Amino acid sequence: METMQEIVEMGQQYVMNTYGRLPYAFTNGEGVYLYDMDGTKYLDFVSGIAVNSLGYGNEALINNLNDQMHKVFHTSNLYWIEPQNKLAKKLVENSCFDKAFFCNSGAESTESALKLARKYGNMVGGPEKCEIITMKNSFHGRTFGSITATGQTKYQKGLGPMLPGILYAEYNNIDSIKALASKEKTCGIMVEPVQGEGGVIPADPQFMKELRDLCTELDILMMVDEVQTGVGRTGKLFGYQHYGVEPDVMSLAKGLGGGMPIGCMLAKDFCAKAFQPGDHASTFGGNFLSATAGLTVLEEIERLDLVKNAEENGAYLQAKAAELAKKYDFITEVRGKGLMQGIILTEAELVGKIRVEAAKRGLLIIGAGYTALRMVPPLIISKEEIDQGIEILDQAMAAVAEA
């Protein structure tokens, strides 16, 4: 077997240079821990960026995937796929939506939502009703549609022109949306219940309520991007459930597959019907393996009471991080919902330095926005494991403060 250094060098030579990677390569995982090629153990506050909701080595996920692999991996969406139907049923029964469409990633679920909004606009208002409003500082993916929807120019640099008909409003500012929205022109408004990549910024309850009212008044689809917040992450099964509103469309990916690639768009019947056969498709979307993973993740979340764990241990994680804020002047705020927490720092360069010092000491953590350290551990994490992570983070911060 190659050494970790050899793997790093091979990657540098052959893999396209699109990520700022740390020089680690992992071989296996157990619970909330990953092990690198040298056998060193790391507590994982990253979860493959809010993906590995059940942690590593979940028996049900392994067994169900193994059973399915021995039957069939893939047919086509030209036939019915039993686990896909069961996953759709479970998602619908546990949300305010009526129908599901499956794809393979978060960006594709954004694309699906953008396309559904345009189709809906056409259906109820004609071709003029085609504008979509998204939020500044949002993140919705990397395809041309989803990167246009992403309200951050840093991701769009050098890629223009962007998709026409997408307008940007201020997050948590309903007046800024009202200034752009109209019944004649706007077909959809997309919002993250907690902006993730933008720096872990929760939506304001009043904002979400007023957004719902505005969308109803002007016959605009209220679309929540729950790629990061969905499937238990924030201490509710879906992030919108914190706000007492029912959106019309929701996109999911990341945590839904527990590590298997899957994306999903859910919609209420009144707008889902804007898609007819041939309007949208995905070869792999909801195939036997990814759908089995999604179904098992939801079953395990229920069986292990992981939404409650995310709520309770998320609050614990926030409280523990707030103790660090008392100790280090460079922490300005701790914010988030459930097991999606951000520690906000005074300077962007501190994020990278703390990440490096934490990894050296056996804790994986990531950044978000410019100045946030983001903590999105597996939903199975215990209080003891959180204590352990905070202890390492404390040491890493002390090392950075002393340097």
Ligand X SMILES: Cc1ncc(COP(=O)(O)O)c(C=O)c1O
Interface residues with ligand X (CB under 6 A) are 105-107, 110, 139-141, 192, 196-197, 225, 227-228, 253
Minimum gap (Å) between residue 211 Cβ and ligand X: 16
Minimum gap (Å) between residue 226 Cβ and ligand X: 7
Query: Tokens 């998204």 appear where?
Result: 134
Minimum gap (Å) between residue 283 Cβ and ligand X: 17
Minimum gap (Å) between residue 391 Cβ and ligand X: 28
Residue 393 CB partners (closer than 8 Å, separation 6+): 321, 324, 354, 358, 363, 365
Q: With respect to ligand X, which residue has the nearer C-beta, 252 or 390?
A: 252
User: How far, in Å, CA of 332 to CA of 345, rounded?
Assistant: 6
Minimum gap (Å) between residue 105 Cβ and ligand X: 4
Q: How far is CA 126 from the centre of its chain?
A: 32
Whether 298 and 82 have beta carbons less than 8 Å apart is answered as: no
Minimum gap (Å) between residue 240 Cβ and ligand X: 13
What secondary structure does DSSP assign to 183-248, as a single string? Answer: TTTEEEEEE-SEETTTTSEEPPHHHHHHHHHHHHHHT-EEEEE-TTTTTTTTSSSSGGGGTT---S
User: How far, in Å, CA of 376 to CA of 52, rounded?
Assistant: 10
Q: With respect to ligand X, which residue has the nearer C-beta, 196 or 258?
A: 196
Minimum gap (Å) between residue 219 Cβ and ligand X: 25
Q: With respect to ligand X, which residue has the nearer C-beta, 110 or 241?
A: 110
> What's the sign of the alpha-carbon dihedral 257, 307, 191, 349?
negative
Query: CA separation (Å) from 342 to 45, 224, 319?
Result: 11, 20, 12
Question: Which residue's CB comes closest to ligand X?
Answer: 106
Q: With respect to ligand X, which residue has the nearer C-beta, 115 or 140?
A: 140
Whether 232 and 310 have beta carbons less than 8 Å apart is answered as: yes
User: How far, in Å, CA of 348 to CA of 215, rounded?
Assistant: 36
Minimum gap (Å) between residue 133 Cβ and ligand X: 16
Q: With respect to ligand X, which residue has the nearer C-beta, 225 or 248?
A: 225
361 burial (CB, 10 Å; 0-12 / 13-18 / 19+) is middle
Rounded to 5 degrees, φ, ψ at 247 are -70, 170
Minimum gap (Å) between residue 202 Cβ and ligand X: 13
- In terms of residues, how long is the chain? 403
User: How far, in Å, CA of 80 to CA of 150, rounded?
Assistant: 34
Query: CA separation (Å) from 41 to 25, 38, 378?
Result: 12, 9, 16
Minimum gap (Å) between residue 199 Cβ and ligand X: 12
Q: With respect to ligand X, which residue has the nearer C-beta, 105 or 292?
A: 105
Q: With respect to ligand X, which residue has the nearer C-beta, 185 or 233?
A: 233
Q: With respect to ligand X, which residue has the nearer C-beta, 109 or 357?
A: 109
User: How far, in Å, CA of 25 to CA of 309, rounded?
Assistant: 29
Q: With respect to ligand X, which residue has the nearer C-beta, 106 or 125?
A: 106
